[in-house]
Structure 1
Amino acid sequence: MKLLVVEDNEHIRKSIVRAFKANKYVVDDTGDGEDGLWHALEYNYDVIVLDIMLPKLDGKQILQKIRQAGKDTPVLFLTALDQLDDKIEGFKIGADDYLVKSFAIEELLARVEALSRRRYQAISSVIKVADLELDRSARTVSRNGQLLSMTPQSFSLLELFMLRKGQVISRSEIEQCIYDEHVNPMSNVVESAIYALRKALQVDKSQPQLIQTKRGMGYYLQDPGCE
């Protein structure tokens, strides 16, 4: 699972990041509101842990911009504001949960796990785009009824493309999908991953190419039936 933690108190932020990493999570973190918004819009996260009182942009402004951008990433507000009105306002603008400081790290872990679990239970196990069918539970992919052989890396990348059909996915997002750490921007790992995925999908040369390039921007999954 991949998380974003936006918290300006360095001690609290480091404690949260350390706890999640100890539980095998991939975590991005920042103490700046504008940087937090950039990460939230640029990358896909399973859950965002978001403080309200932040420099430059506060948590409520960040959440509003995330929702306006059409992203439904679960957001847990982490704040010292403990009045009922504050909580109600947070839920009204799209927060999924609310945890008041100070808190036990075990409770934060449990709440984040619950948010992620609810989100993915709401997504069907089987995703279909054009003649492609991906089964998230069985970890299988078929095209036009034919079972495809695919590496775990290609499966994860295809899952990302299918969940965001028609949307351009940037190089940096693809890097985040296939690697835990950022890679050298001069390397060709993204191109290699796209090539491998295209090859795995192209079982018949007469079939249309589904993974398209948007020059200078990234790649997207095209549904020929929607053209």
Structure 2
Amino acid sequence: MSKVLKNLTILIVEDESETRKLMQDVLSDEFSNIITAQNGDEGLKKFKKYNPDMVISDIAMPIMDGLEMTEQIKKISSDTPIIALSAHSEKEKLLRAIDVGVDKYVLKPIDMEEFLATIELVATQKIQSTNDIQLSDGYSFNKTKRVLVKDGVEISLTKKELAFVSLLIKRLGTIVLHDEIKNVVWIGESVSEAAIRTFVKRIRDKVGANFIKNAPGLGYKIEANS
């Protein structure tokens, strides 16, 4: 597993505790950041909070099933890969999985060697397909190097500034709410709305006043390349 893949954050959503722990143990050897949830509702909340690079989810779960969760996640971030797990191979479920945007479908019981190969394939495809993101007004973002570029010149950002810009780029063209920004950029820290405004002004001083758009009282967004 390459260093770039190892640094990805993976969200596992599985209601069976033993299966969830087994997947967590296996994937912890391959990826640095593993997050788990025990149903689709918790999975969706953790997706919004932690902004993972990939989701691996069971289909049949209480409260909210994996396909409903997938549909909600794809509305937030259509390019986040989702691998669905199921003990069933009924045509209706397969078609529904395709309809909501599942990227790969893996049948249980899971063959761990094949499972890891599938994850690596999907992760590699994700990185290759979204490596350089073209933004408006001559900006681009390289996801492998995690750098923002303007007209070929790299813009230096702090760790928190990079986390903020990365989040907005992942939600490109849509408003990212203040609460989500706090959860991703200031994990476990208390931060005021005034402090966020000052923080954003500092970034604008570096990247240009019009790069980050403000939605008063709601949050911020970065526009896609038109």
Query: For the superposition of Structure 1 and Structure 2, which TM-score range results when normalised by the shorter chain?
Result: 0.7 to 0.9
Match of 1:27 in 2: 34
Deviations 1:5-44 (A, max 9, x none): 1111011112222332333332332212322234445653
Separation (CA, whole Å) in 1 of partners of 2:31 and 2:194: 24
- Given that 1:127 and 1:162 are in contact with CA atoms closer than 8 Å, whether structure 2 keeps it comes out as no
- Structure with bigger gyration radius: 1
- Any stretches of 5+ residues in structure 2 without a counterpart? 1-7
Check if 1:75 corresponds to 2:78. no
Match of 1:202 in 2: 205
- Given that 1:2 and 1:47 are in contact with CA atoms closer than 8 Å, whether structure 2 keeps it comes out as yes
Separation (CA, whole Å) in 2 of partners of 1:72 and 1:49: 14
- Given that 1:148 and 1:200 are in contact with CA atoms closer than 8 Å, whether structure 2 keeps it comes out as no
- Given that 1:143 and 1:201 are in contact with CA atoms closer than 8 Å, whether structure 2 keeps it comes out as no
Separation (CA, whole Å) in 2 of partners of 1:18 and 1:191: 39
TM-score w.r.t. the length of structure 2 is 0.74
Check if 1:167 corresponds to 2:174. yes
- Given that 1:170 and 1:219 are in contact with CA atoms closer than 8 Å, whether structure 2 keeps it comes out as yes
Separation (CA, whole Å) in 2 of partners of 1:4 and 1:167: 22
Deviations 1:99-151 (A, max 9, x none): 22222334333322221221221225253322433344555434466543323
Separation (CA, whole Å) in 1 of partners of 2:77 and 2:153: 34
Match of 2:117 in 1: 110
Match of 2:188 in 1: 183
Check if 1:3 corresponds to 2:18. no
Aligned Cα root-mean-square deviation (Å): 3.6
Match of 1:217 in 2: 218
Q: Sequence identity of aligned pairs in percent?
A: 21
Query: 1:68: how far off?
Result: 5.2
- Which of 122, 128, 134 is matched with 1:121 structurally? 128
- Given that 1:3 and 1:45 are in contact with CA atoms closer than 8 Å, whether structure 2 keeps it comes out as yes
Separation (CA, whole Å) in 2 of partners of 1:70 and 1:149: 26
SS at match of 1:71: coil
Opposite residue 205 of structure 2, the aligned amino acid is Q
- Given that 2:177 and 2:218 are in contact with CA atoms closer than 8 Å, whether structure 1 keeps it comes out as yes
Opposite residue 202 of structure 2, the aligned amino acid is K
Taking the TM superposition and a 5 Å limit, the aligned residue runs for 1:57-72 are: 57-67=64-74, 71-72=78-79
Query: How many residues are paired up?
Result: 219
Query: 1:54: how far off?
Result: 0.5
CA 1:113/1:172 → structure 2, altered by over 3 Å: closer, same or farther? farther
CA 1:34/1:140 → structure 2, altered by over 3 Å: closer, same or farther? closer
- Given that 1:4 and 1:40 are in contact with CA atoms closer than 8 Å, whether structure 2 keeps it comes out as yes
- Given that 2:10 and 2:31 are in contact with CA atoms closer than 8 Å, whether structure 1 keeps it comes out as no
Check if 1:56 corresponds to 2:63. yes
- Any stretches of 5+ residues in structure 1 without a counterpart? none
Query: 1:218: how far off?
Result: 2.7
CA 1:163/1:103 → structure 2, altered by over 3 Å: closer, same or farther? closer
